[in-house]
């Protein structure tokens, strides 16, 4: 059995609860198991030599003018958005949660603000300049290149935000426009059905009033229609539609559109070199599988085959 060192136990015997003898007794009685019985130290006491600190401070402190040191010790500017304007703002110091980044940074910001607000009048009194004149050129802590980079980044960020906002708005608008359009179409259908019923009734002789013909022009629906149409008209027919309209005509558009003039002769906009040489294939799968040779080539083939 490892006995604790005698010197140790002697010095501790006044303070510790068990002494050497008692340990041996306890072991013989079987309360202590063999092995290393480590004396547990109490929790470490942190050194806090208050007097030493104060003395050190007294020796080390330099009595400089305030202008040399420019230090301020102030709490942060109180928040504006406090619901209860209690007068005891000093005691009611809401402990800033260090995990909450925003709150923490805001508290630093406000502390700096209060310091600046307190100090500026004093500096003006002592005639220490705080504003840099516009023609005073000197080296800055960050180079111009760096500031340029920062500005670029801020600009791109702002542009991206604006773009996303616009896209969102457009999407919302489209949804709304679609909704309105369907509503209008439905209403039109209803009107039509109603009208047909009324006409049939009249034809069959159930009613002999022709009032339904006048009740047609409702200004409200036309106003809505115009608004919806306005939204739709901005986009107009799609590009595909426009191309087809242009190619196959759009109800009488073709009359007088082909003239054999110098301008039409000189106009080669409809010429596509690849198409002319037969290199463009409309079907990407089959390439030139059914390329019928020209007349000359066919005649040659015919004559050769014979």
DSSP letter string over 84-134? S--S-TTT--PPP-TT-HHHHHHHHHHHHHHHHHHHHHHHHHTT---SPPT
98 binds another protein (CB under 8 A): yes
Q: Which of these segments, 33-41, 109-117, 213-221, 260-268, binds another protein (CB under 8 A)? A: 109-117
62 binds another protein (CB under 8 A): yes
Cβ atoms of residues 212 and 195 within 8 Å: yes
User: What residue ranges in 203-255 does DSSP mark as E strands?
Assistant: none
46 binds another protein (CB under 8 A): yes
How near is the Cβ of 80 to another protein at its closest, in Å?
13
Which of 42, 83, 85, 129: binder of another protein (CB under 8 A)?
A: 129
Nearer to another protein by Cβ, of 114 and 181: the residue is: 114
Nearer to another protein by Cβ, of 76 and 177: the residue is: 76
DSSP letter for 135, please.
T
Cβ atoms of residues 74 and 118 within 8 Å: yes
Q: Which of residues 266-295 bind another protein (CB under 8 A)?
A: none
- Return the structure tokens found at 276: 């002319």
Nearer to another protein by Cβ, of 146 and 232: the residue is: 146
Which of 14, 59, 63, 91: binder of another protein (CB under 8 A)?
A: 59
Cβ atoms of residues 275 and 291 within 8 Å: no
Nearer to another protein by Cβ, of 128 and 159: the residue is: 128
Which of 18, 23, 32, 112: binder of another protein (CB under 8 A)?
A: 112
Q: Which among 63, 65, 67, 66 is positioned nearest to 129, based on CA atoms?
A: 67
How near is the Cβ of 101 to another protein at its closest, in Å?
11
101 binds another protein (CB under 8 A): no
143 binds another protein (CB under 8 A): yes
Which of 26, 39, 56, 167: binder of another protein (CB under 8 A)?
A: 56
Number of residues that bind another protein (CB under 8 A): 64
Q: Which among 2, 67, 11 is positioned nearest to 35, based on CA atoms?
A: 2
Nearer to another protein by Cβ, of 96 and 180: the residue is: 96
- Return the structure tokens found at 125: 């009194």
Nearer to another protein by Cβ, of 108 and 250: the residue is: 108
With left for phi above 0 and alpha for psi between -120 and 50, is residue 255 left, alpha or beta?
beta
Per-residue b/e over 64-74, b at no fewer than 16 CB within 10 Å?
A: eeeeeeeeeee
94 binds another protein (CB under 8 A): no
How near is the Cβ of 39 to another protein at its closest, in Å?
22
Per-residue b/e over 165-174, b at no fewer than 16 CB within 10 Å?
A: eeeeeeeeee
Q: Which among 227, 245, 247 is positioned nearest to 237, based on CA atoms?
A: 245
Q: Which of these segments, 129-137, 205-213, 249-257, 273-281, binds another protein (CB under 8 A)? A: 129-137
137 binds another protein (CB under 8 A): yes
Handedness of CA 74, 75, 81, 86 (dihedral sign): negative
Nearer to another protein by Cβ, of 21 and 93: the residue is: 93
Q: Which residues bind another protein (CB under 8 A)?
A: 46-50, 52-54, 56-57, 59-62, 64, 67-75, 96, 98, 104, 107-109, 111-117, 119-120, 123, 128-133, 135-150, 153-154
């Amino acid at each position: 059995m490892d006995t604790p060192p005698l010197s140790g136990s002697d010095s501790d015997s006044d303070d510790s609860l068990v002494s050497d003898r008692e340990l041996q007794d306890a072991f013989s009685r079987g309360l202590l198991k063999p092995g290393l019985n480590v004396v547990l130290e109490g929790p470490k006491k942190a050194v806090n030599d208050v007097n030493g600190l104060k003395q050190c401070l007294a020796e080390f402190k330099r009595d400089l003018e305030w202008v040399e040191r420019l230090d301020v010790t102030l709490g942060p500017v109180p928040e504006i958005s406090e619901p209860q304007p209690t007068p005891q703002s000093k005691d009611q110091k809401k402990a800033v949660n260090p995990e909450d980044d925003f709150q923490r940074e805001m508290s630093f910001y406000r502390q700096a603000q209060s310091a600046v607000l307190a100090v500026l009048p004093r500096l003006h009194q002592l005639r220490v300049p705080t504003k840099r004149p516009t023609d005073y050129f000197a080296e800055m802590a960050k180079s111009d290149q760096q500031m340029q980079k920062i500005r670029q980044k801020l600009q791109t960020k702002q542009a991206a935000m604006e773009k996303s906002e616009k896209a969102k708005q457009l999407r919302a608008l489209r949804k709304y426009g679609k909704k309105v359009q369907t509503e209008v179409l439905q209403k039109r259908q209803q009107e039509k059905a109603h009208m047909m019923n009324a006409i049939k009734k009249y034809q069959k002789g159930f009613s002999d009033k022709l009032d339904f013909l006048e009740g047609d022009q409702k200004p409200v629906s036309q106003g809505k229609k115009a608004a919806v149409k306005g939204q739709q008209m901005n986009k107009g027919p799609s590009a595909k539609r426009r191309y087809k309209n242009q190619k196959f005509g759009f109800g009488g558009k073709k009359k007088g559109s082909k003239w054999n003039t110098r301008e039409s002769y000189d106009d080669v906009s409809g010429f596509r070199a690849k198409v002319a040489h037969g290199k463009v294939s409309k079907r990407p799968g089959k390439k030139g599988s059914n390329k019928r040779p020209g007349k000359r080539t066919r005649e040659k083939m015919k004559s050769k085959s014979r």
